[in-house]
Amino acid sequence: MSSSSRDGFTSTFGVLVATLGSAVGLGNIWKFPYLTGTNGGASFLLVYIIATLLVGLPVMITEIMLGRASRANAITTFEKLAPKNQKAWKLVGYMGVAAAVLILSFYTEVAGWVFAYIFKALSGQLGSTDPAHTKAVFGELVANPQSALIWQWLVLGFTGAIVMCGVSKGIEVVSKKLMPVLFLLLIALCIRSLTLPGAMQGLEFLFTPDFSKINAAVILTAVGLAFFKLSIGMGTMLTYGSYFRAEQNIPLTATRVMFADLTVSLLAGMAIFPAVFAFGFEPAAGPSLVFITIPAVFHSMPGGSIFMALFFILTAIAATGAILSILEVPVAMLIERRNWSRKKATAISILTIALVGVPAALSQSLTASWKLFGMNAFDLFDYISSNILMPVGGILICLFAGWSYGLPKLKEALSNGGTLNNPALIKVLFILLRYVAPLLIVIILLNGFGLI
């Protein structure tokens, strides 16, 4: 496919909302709030922000830049941009595609639960202030092999249909409609939560610094979160970068997305925890917070079932934008490397993900006893992709940009043909990419695994 006939984002706003749509996801609604709450509150937030600035943002800018410079999928980008004698770089692209399939195999499962919960909230099945009841409802959903699989397949079908429509007519159009709705719903939920009596305690939980909790494992968690949040280290931003317009200011767009994404995370925390504390619930961790505690919390407040449905609609919107971007990684690769039509590439991608996703979807039922390193398939896929493939992919992308691609090309690619000139900023970025970010990620990875 020639680059002139290649699909792409059509406006500055379109680029911004689609990229933000990728960053904003389940990571903001459950990962960020509970990790911040349980890892030291404001002090974790500080480590997370430092990790985002030193590692996350530089990698994000670089990925987008490499994608735009090559106007190709994750694998072909390295093939095109690496010197002739360094073809092995394309393995980074293969790793990205593998990570995308692995992430989607469990991410679409959680998204399936969210979609199911919209209907459960509306039909009144979650109508109880007793977490034992909401726990039973959740248990029934995940322990039933049929419902676990069907909801995952519905999500894959729904997002696959959008991706089949293309980048500008599918992903961009849907992102433009959904992202504003997401912000409105989030603000409405925040106002509801913060005006409840006793809301302050929730803010204290989220924002009181506890520096004694900061250790190597917590820092690894913060870096992992920075990668997961900004959708980096696995070719997603690279693929989206290949659809960026030539005149788009990449560092500025990435910085805006980073701040907007952080804002969504903070708003999500402020919508969830004040309500949790106001009604005397436990700020428990992980999926159980969203699927067990939250329904009981919402049922405790006047007009709760409406707010509960809105909460799950909001979460479904967030998950959708993220899934579209991850799905585009294998789809773009298959279209460009196999010469397949977008429809065929999408269909084969979602079928593969559905297949790989079976053990993850059934990890609370039929495959519950399948364990590797003490983890079931769901946890294992999450662990391998978030804690290994994404950070390692991040290191390799930094090393590629810093040592193989080099400063002159980096300057050229970021200056949009000389119209944007910020040599000092590019120098800082280059030093971060060449030395700081890879070294930091390696140390943190080794430390997190207890190797140093």
The angle subtended at Cα 249 by Cα 246 and Cα 254, nearest 5°, is 120
Nearer of residues 110 and 426 to ligand PFF, judged by Cβ:
110
Query: Rounded to an integer, what distance in angstroms lies between the CA atom of residue 187 and that of residue 210?
Result: 28
CB of 103 to ligand PFF, least distance (A): 6
102 neighbors 293 (Cβ within 8 angstroms)? no
Nearer of residues 35 and 137 to ligand PFF, judged by Cβ:
35
Can you state the angle between helices 90-122 and 145-164, rounded to 10 degrees? Answer: 120
Nearer of residues 189 and 268 to ligand PFF, judged by Cβ:
268
Nearer of residues 103 and 332 to ligand PFF, judged by Cβ:
103
CB of 87 to ligand PFF, least distance (A): 24
Binding site for ligand PFF (CB under 6 A): 22-23, 25-28, 103, 228-229, 231, 234, 236, 322, 325-326
CB of 425 to ligand PFF, least distance (A): 25
Residue type at 364 in one-letter notation: Q
Non-local CB neighbours of 186 within 8 Å, separated by 6+ positions: 264, 267, 268, 271, 314
Query: Rounded to an integer, what distance in angstroms lies between the CA atom of residue 255 and that of residue 261?
Result: 10
Beta bridge partners of 372: 375
CB of 234 to ligand PFF, least distance (A): 5
Nearer of residues 27 and 37 to ligand PFF, judged by Cβ:
27
C-alpha distances in Å from residue 390, one per residue of 207, 229, 273, 277, 365: 28, 11, 29, 34, 28
3-state secondary structure of 355: helix
Nearer of residues 110 and 297 to ligand PFF, judged by Cβ:
110
Q: What is the DSSP letter of 339?
A: -
CB of 23 to ligand PFF, least distance (A): 5
Helix, strand, coil shares of the chain as percentages rounded to 5? 80, 0, 20
CB of 339 to ligand PFF, least distance (A): 25
172 neighbors 12 (Cβ within 8 angstroms)? no
* C-beta atoms surrounding 373 within 10 Å: 8
Query: Rounded to an integer, what distance in angstroms lies between the CA atom of residue 317 and that of residue 307?
Result: 15
Nearer of residues 29 and 335 to ligand PFF, judged by Cβ:
29
Nearer of residues 39 and 301 to ligand PFF, judged by Cβ:
39
Query: Rounded to an integer, what distance in angstroms lies between the CA atom of residue 182 and that of residue 421?
Result: 35
Non-local CB neighbours of 392 within 8 Å, separated by 6+ positions: 95, 233, 445
CB of 115 to ligand PFF, least distance (A): 15
Beta bridge partners of 200: none
CB of 27 to ligand PFF, least distance (A): 2
Q: Which residues of 280-294 are buried (b: 16+ CB within 10 A; e: fewer)?
A: ebebeeebbbbbbbb
Nearer of residues 28 and 39 to ligand PFF, judged by Cβ:
28
CB of 236 to ligand PFF, least distance (A): 3
Nearer of residues 393 and 438 to ligand PFF, judged by Cβ:
393
CB of 104 to ligand PFF, least distance (A): 9
